[in-house]
A and B are shown apart, each in its own frame.
Chain A
């Protein structure tokens, strides 16, 4: 069918022909915005022309060819968009990694969330590395015991990862699992877990980073690494701050590089359904005529992570406080660092405090 037969205005027809569209088939593969630009008409006009053209084509060939115009009527044309209802289903089936402290897991809504970036910061000696190692071990808890049965990536920027400690924590984790087994199943033959601490250590991929360039390069490379190792379910970075606190004269560059890195990590978390745990250091901040502690890397960085947990001393106890989370309430809970790893605090006073 020819253009001159279309039920459109003469001027529109004239513009179509002078732009080179002489047959209907030439209009079948163009988008409305391109057409609008070529004909120098408004987009709604172009949309109209295409609609008309497709209807004519449809009536002639009786072929329900899906044109752009028809697609516009449904609500799912953006690639990657999801309705809130569909997302609810995803959120409910979200996986968690336990921290081995029930109180801490409670305020975290089950544990460290997968598909999200969680930042954990605190003063030196509060237990950040301990929590990092605990999470790297706990992600390997098999599905039968309510874990993810996955592997871990441990990115060490400061040299604080101690293998002997990881072995201790792995050993204690296996003992706890046997204990649980014994309690639940009461079947003495099946008590022995076949896992050994060495197996757990084998599933922790350890990277040692010596400069911020290596840090950025590694996070870029993780894309490829994770496609090859699909069973990795947690990435722990200990600590994300160290190399960014020195070497940077240009603070604006630092902010850009850090936010680029955070975005990539978030991307990795979502695409591969894993949890990202970033350990951060502490600095002093001058606010309202007094000095306070705050997590390092500045205000812009504080926006980039999804969840933020601050570990602090409260009297003689170690506490964790949910500073920022899209779905969890601000609450704090006590925990302790024992020879077996992170566990519930042993004090009897009220442990979970809602803010």
Chain B
């Protein structure tokens, strides 16, 4: 819509000619300038500029929908009103059905906690027919760090849905629906995004998994502002992919240790030291999610996986519908499963903290070959 050509918009002949003469060919060009700048550029009066702009705006502006019709549309056309159940009952209940369609859901946690395991389980679930709780469609799995293990995928399938996976043809069919891409650089990933867009448009793909986003971006040599810009573009593109195709998009993220530079206060907070209850969070030994605050704003749901005193938890750190709950989980041969469906409510910004205590004991607990 933004790239709509001015020539296609029904404007009075005179002003349309002026626009093309001055090389203002798309609506984006026209709307990026202020009224005054347009007057100067086109050498026409304010009323003409205003009327042209209002006509262009009317065409380019998206149509509206009432929230009621949005809800009705989603419940009629989409699986469970636009949610993909993960099979983890407590989590699905908290998320009002499951992972939401059309937006980004992030899985963040330290290495080896179970992010890839969760992604494998989700990919498998998505490929299953709807009567088994799946989306009955293809899955695109972008495997940046080469962690995807088909063997493990089939093991999960066999343990969780033996009736399907014991038959070789069915197992082949399901596993055949998961397409694994292994981009070796961000540029390659960017290219493949365009192709992904096409297959999404053809409606065959029902889920996109990116494992992991942080690895893609950190592999690049650019630093600082340019890196932020590249990331911004990708955030925007992936979000719009999710949006128009209305599929769940799951992205994993890494963690990094808390920097001295990490900001956590506003300027008005620094002054008011008396009376305010402030926990000195910067002295804690926990980790923070990588990719920065802009990324944190862009994801709609953030699931934090952490290890605390030898137990693993999956926490709903950011969600438009769920309260801040933490569920204990463990990894089994049939994938990931919750130890309790009753989440423990976590107060305050603690929900965002990522702990990594007592974790090594879990890794060495005889589960070799698992990531």
Q: Using CB atoms and an 8 Å cutoff, list the residues of chain A in contact with chain B.
A: 123-125, 129-130, 153-154, 158-168, 198, 201-214, 216-221, 223-225, 239, 241-243, 245-247, 253, 256-257, 260, 281-285, 287, 290-294, 310, 312-317, 321, 323, 330, 338-339, 349, 353, 355
**Closest A-B pairs by Cβ, 8 of them:** A316-B348, A220-B57, A315-B277, A213-B2, A246-B232, A217-B60, A201-B68, A125-B318
Q: By the criterion CB–CB under 8 Å, are B293 and A282 in contact?
A: yes
With contact pairs A217-B57, A310-B268, A321-B268 given, residues A256 and B262 touching in the complex (Cβ less than 8 Å)? no
Chain A residue, CB-CB nearest to B102: A159
User: Nearest Cβ distance between residue B66 and chain A, in whole angstroms?
Assistant: 5
Q: B53 and A220: CB pair below 8 A?
A: yes
- Pull 18 A–B residue pairs with CB atoms less than 8 Å apart, ordered by A: A124-B318, A129-B320, A158-B298, A159-B243, A162-B321, A204-B68, A208-B62, A210-B1, A211-B2, A214-B60, A217-B59, A220-B57, A292-B263, A293-B265, A314-B277, A314-B278, A316-B350, A330-B268
Q: Residue A217 contacts which of B27, B37, B68, B277 (CB distance < 8 angstroms)?
A: B27
Measured in the bound complex, the distance between the Cα atoms of B36 and A70 in whole Å is 35
Minimum CB–CB distance for B107 against chain A, Å: 16
Q: A201-B66, A217-B61 are in contact. Are A257 and B268 (CB under 8 A)?
A: no
**Smallest Cβ-Cβ distance to B279: which chain A residue:** A315
Let me know if B229 and A246 touch, CB within 8 A: yes
Q: Does B35 contact A (CB under 8 A)?
A: yes
Which residue of chain A has the shortest Cβ distance to B242 in the bound complex? A159
> Is B202 at the interface (CB under 8 A from chain A)?
no
Give the distance in Å from the alpha carbon of A2 to the alpha carbon of B228 in the complex: 77
**B247-288 CB contact bits vs A (8 Å, 1 = yes)?**
000000000000001111111111010011111000000000
| Contact yes or no, A125 B317, CB < 8 A | yes
Residues of A within 8 A of B347 (CB): 316
Q: How far is the CA of A248 from the CA of B192 in the complex (A)?
A: 24
Least CB distance, B239 to chain A, in whole angstroms: 7
Are A206 and B70 in contact (CB-based, < 8 A)? yes
Query: A250's closest neighbor in chain B, by CB?
Result: B32
Chain A residue with the shortest CB-CB distance to B100:
A162
Asked if B74 is at the interface of the complex by the 8 Å CB criterion, the answer is: yes
B146 CB–A CB distance under 8 Å: no
Tell me if A206 and B65 are in contact (CB < 8 A): yes
Q: Return chain B residues, CB-CB under 8 Å to A330.
A: 268
Q: Report the separation of the CA atoms of residues A111 and B296 in the bound assembly, to the nearest whole angstrom.
A: 29
Q: Does B294 contact A (CB under 8 A)?
A: yes
Residues of B within 8 A of A153 (CB): 64
Chain B residue with the shortest CB-CB distance to A129: B320
**Binary per-residue interface labels of chain B (221-253) against chain A in the complex, 1 for a CB within 8 Å, 0 otherwise:** 000000001001101100110110000000000
